Amino acid sequence: MTSARRRYRWVLSFSLSVLLLLPVFVAAAPLAERQVLENGLTLLVRSSRALPIVTITVTVQAGSLWEPEERAGLANLTALLLTRSTTTRTAAQIDEAVDFIGASLSSSADRDLSELHLTMLRKDIPKGLELLADVLLHPTFEQGEIARKVQELRAALRKRQEDPGEVAQEVFDGLVFGGHPYGRPLEGSEATLTTITRDDIVGFHRNHYTPERTFITVVGDVGRGEITDQIRALLGSWPKGKGAVARATAPTPLQEKIIVKKVDRSVAQANIVLGHQGIRRDNPDFYALTVMNYILGGGGFSSRLVERIREQKGWAYDVNSQFSPGLERGSFQVALQTKNESAGPAVQEVVRELKRIREQGVTDQELVDAKAHLTGSFPLRLDTNAKLAGLISAVEYYKLGLDYADRYRTLIEGVGKEDILRVARTYLRPEGYVLVVVADQAKAALPE
C-alpha cells in the first residue's frame, strides 16, 4: 500500500522513468541478521554478494511527528542540513568526496522517521562509512547553509503550486488531519520556515539523533562481522540520549460528513482526491485491508476503479486507491485525474464503488486473484539492494519481525470474504469523506 500515484503505460519522451522490479527472496530465512550495540544502536545486515556494491540506510525516529506545530518543517530541515557541513567538512567538500567515489549520499525526513541513504562500491566502504558517521554525528548547521536551504524550500513550496495534483493532495491532507503533522507539508510553510532558528535545529538533532533511536541497515557485498566492526569503531562511542521525547499522537477524528473543497485553476484536467482517515500500521486488519484495497483500486488493471473509470468510461489515465498507514492513523484516499467536464460523473462512480464493496463485498474469483498476486509478487519487492534495505528498515521500524517474508503469505492467505466485508464496512466511509477538486470549476460543474 505504498504511494504510486502514476503508473500504467507511460511515454518515454525525455528520460527513462526509474522502474520498480524484482528478484526472488527465498523465504524461511530471516530478512537480515540483527544486533544491538552497547549504546543501543541497532544493526541489520544482509549479505548479497552478486555485485561489488553496498547500500546503507540509517533510520532515525525523527520525523515530523516529533516537531512542534509552530516549528513545522523542523524535522525536514534538520535532515536536509546533515550533509551541508560538519565540524571538519564544508558542504562542497562533502559533495566532492561523495561524487569522487561515484557514491550517492542523501538525507530526508518523512512523517514517521528521518533517513540517510548511502550507496557505494564495496571497495569504498571505509571512506563512505567515515563520511556517513561524520554527517550523522557532527553536523554544524551553519547559519549560511540554513539560510540557503530555507530559501530553496520556500521556492520549492512555490513551484509545487504549478502541479495541480500536488495542490489537491496538500489541500486534502490539511482537511483530513487538521493541525496534525500528517496534515501538513513536510517542508512546513513560508511562515513556520522563517521562525525556525539554528538553536531549534541543533536541539532537534541533539534530542532525536541518538543511538537508541536509530538503526542501520546494510545490504550488499559485505560480511556481518567486518561491517559490524567498522560501524562499532565509528559509532560505538556515540552517547545515548537524555531520555524520552514527546511526539504528536493520534489525529483528531473527522466528523462523519461530506466536506467538498473546490480549487479553481485554469487547467486542462481536474485533479481529484477523495477520502478520509485510515489505519495505523500496527492495526491487525492491515492485511485484510491490503486485499480489499487491491480489489478496489490498488491493483492496477485488476482493480474495480480502473476497470470502471479508465477501461469502460475512458475518463482517466490513472485512478487508484490507497491506505497510507503509519505510526498513527494515515489516510485512505482515491485519486484520479480527468478532463474538467467529467469530474462530476467520475466522483459519482468512485462513491458508487465504495458503496458497492461495502454492501456486496467481493467475489470468490476476485479474492483468489488478489491473494495470488499479493503472495506471488512478494519476491518482486526485493529486487535490488535498495529495495531490500527499504523493506528491512520498514520491518524493523514497524516491528513486523524479521520473519516477515514468511508470515506475509500466511497473513494474506488467511483473509476471507467475510473479513473483506467487515473491513470495508469498518474503514470505508462513503457517508463522510473529504473531496478535493482542483479544476477549471466553470467547466467542471460539480454538484454542490
Partner 1 sequence: MTQGLAEAQVTARVTESMLENGLKILLLEEHKASVVTVHIWYRVGARNEQPGTTGLSHLLEHMMFKGTSKVGPGQFSRTIRKNGGRDNAFTSEDYTGYFETFASDRIDLALKLEADRMRNLLLDPKEIEAEKKVVMEERRLRTEDDPVSALREAMGAAAFQAHPYRQPVIGWMTDIERLAREDLARYYDTYYVPNNAVLVAVGDFKSDELLPKIRHHFGPIPRGAQPPSVRAVEPEQRGERRLFLRKEAELPFVFMGYHVPNLKHPDNFALEVLAYILSGGKSARIYKSLVYEKQLALFAGGGYDRESIDPNLFPLYASVMPGKTAEEVEQALTAEIELVKNEPIPDRELQKAKNQIEAGFLFGQDSVFNLARQLAEYEIVADWRAWEAYLPGIRAVTAADLQRVAKAYLTPDHRTVAVLIPEKIKK
Nearer to partner 1, 10 or 352 (CB): 10
Residue 447, amino acid:
P
Nearer to partner 1, 63 or 188 (CB): 188
Closest CA to 274 of 107, 38, 436, 86: 436
Phi then psi for 27, rounded to 5 degrees? -70, -175
d(CA 395, CA 403): 9
d(CA 349, CA 312): 11
Kindly state the cell numbers that stand for 346.
Answer: 467520475
Nearer to partner 1, 258 or 263 (CB): 263
Nearer to partner 1, 148 or 198 (CB): 148
Least separation in angstroms between CB 66 and partner 1:
27
Interior/surface letters 67-100, b for 16+ CB within 10 angstroms, e for the rest: beeebbbbbbbbbbbbbbbbeebebeebeebbee
d(CA 162, CA 180): 25
Least separation in angstroms between CB 305 and partner 1:
13
Contact 356, 207 (CB under 8 A): no
d(CA 73, CA 64): 7
Least separation in angstroms between CB 163 and partner 1:
7
Question: Going by DSSP bridges, is the β-strand pair 331-339/269-277 parallel, antiparallel, or unpaired?
Answer: antiparallel
Least separation in angstroms between CB 276 and partner 1:
25
Q: Where are the beta strands (DSSP E) in 30-83?
A: 33-36, 42-47, 53-60
Kindly state the cell numbers that stand for 319.
Answer: 485512478
Phi-psi region of 10 (alpha: psi -120 to 50; beta: other; left: phi over 0): beta
Least separation in angstroms between CB 323 and partner 1:
19
Element (H, E) at 191: helix 190-195
Nearer to partner 1, 220 or 251 (CB): 220
Chain centre distance of CA 61: 14
Least separation in angstroms between CB 448 and partner 1:
21
Nearer to partner 1, 97 or 402 (CB): 97
Least separation in angstroms between CB 51 and partner 1:
6
Nearer to partner 1, 56 or 248 (CB): 56
d(CA 319, CA 334): 7
Nearer to partner 1, 213 or 304 (CB): 304
Contact 71, 223 (CB under 8 A): no
Nearer to partner 1, 179 or 314 (CB): 314
CA separation, residue 151 to residues 92, 146, 185, 191, 358 (Å): 18, 9, 16, 12, 47
Least separation in angstroms between CB 71 and partner 1:
23
Nearer to partner 1, 67 or 366 (CB): 366
d(CA 381, CA 391): 8
Least separation in angstroms between CB 405 and partner 1:
13
Least separation in angstroms between CB 364 and partner 1:
13
Least separation in angstroms between CB 79 and partner 1:
16
Nearer to partner 1, 238 or 378 (CB): 378
